[in-house]
Amino acid sequence: MRLTTRGLTAALVLMLAPALGAQEIKIAASSSSGTYQKMLGELIGVCSTDAFPITMAQNEGGAPGNLDALVNNRAQAAFLHSDVYFANAQADPTYKRYKTLLALWPEPIHVLALRTSKTGRKGFSLGKQEFTSLQDAKGFRVGAAGGGVFTSRILTGQGEGGFEVVPFNTGAEVIDALNKGDIALAIFVGAAPLPNLEKLDHTAYKLIPVGETIAARVKGVYREVNINYAGMTDGPLKTLAPLATLLTRQYQTEARIAAQRHLRQCFYQKLPQLQDEGSPNWQQVSASDRGVLDWLDLPK
């Protein structure tokens, strides 16, 4: 097989990387639930090498903060759920330059409620509103943090949920506001099981569905999935999910392209090991899935 000049250069970069110096791959992985940090740690464990060390970018703000780190060149790739990208690309067409390096797992929308509501029923001075789905939140305040804020705005806007979205800095602040009755419901987005929801007292909280009416209005943005938390759901619970995506952009230098190629090739080579030994979310990843965003075509 005859190699082009570009192909020979890329091959030389791969072979000579240790001698020329390591090409770091910095990935933004902030999340209010801790999921991205955990998954990146497992990815680093199988794919970080002396030639291509994979490190975590120092940033905050969940999925929006990760995207900001990528946009401002503080990271070469960013974990986010696909609806965060959709929202930004609709507002600013220049975001279309960002593409999928890895299509990952569905990130279910978790709607968290108190079993004993602290929110007054609409139109009544006494009594509390009970919530059986997100559709019951019309006219109420719903809290979220990080990328969950974008998801919540899509559900109340395009989904016509009719609730007010209250943003918070962290997932812990969202749960605290729910406990105080400052918000009626809390929305978290991330691969199940979410670490910060698993540790909650199951006798005090429950997970509820998005609801068929809202789901029908946003079916072009999300996939239908089920979640199941012992004690917080009565068996599998139907909800919606954006897709976790490792987003990047097209680089011009051979060293950066070689780093992207290494990460993609290593990931698919090690995917069976991650599925057998790592977090259960890897089992939802398919090597043939190209996701819902534009795919990055790397030079051969």
pLDDT in tens, 133-189: 999 999 999 999 988 999 999 999 999 999 999 999 999 999 999 999 999 999 999
The per-residue pLDDT for 121 is 54
* pLDDT for residue 9 is more than 80: no
Q: Nearest Cα to 109, choosing from 153, 141, 66?
A: 153
Residues of the chain with pLDDT > 70, as a percent, come to 90
Q: Which of 5-14, 46-55, 188-197, 217-226 has the highest mean pLDDT?
A: 46-55
Q: What is the mean pLDDT of the chain?
A: 89
* pLDDT for residue 4 is more than 80: no
- The pTM assigned to this predicted structure is 0.77
* pLDDT for residue 122 is more than 90: no
Task: Say if residues 145 and 167 touch (Cβ distance below 8 Å).
Answer: yes
Q: Read off the pLDDT of each residue in 56-66 and give the average, rounded to a whole number.
A: 93
The per-residue pLDDT for 21 is 60
The per-residue pLDDT for 15 is 46
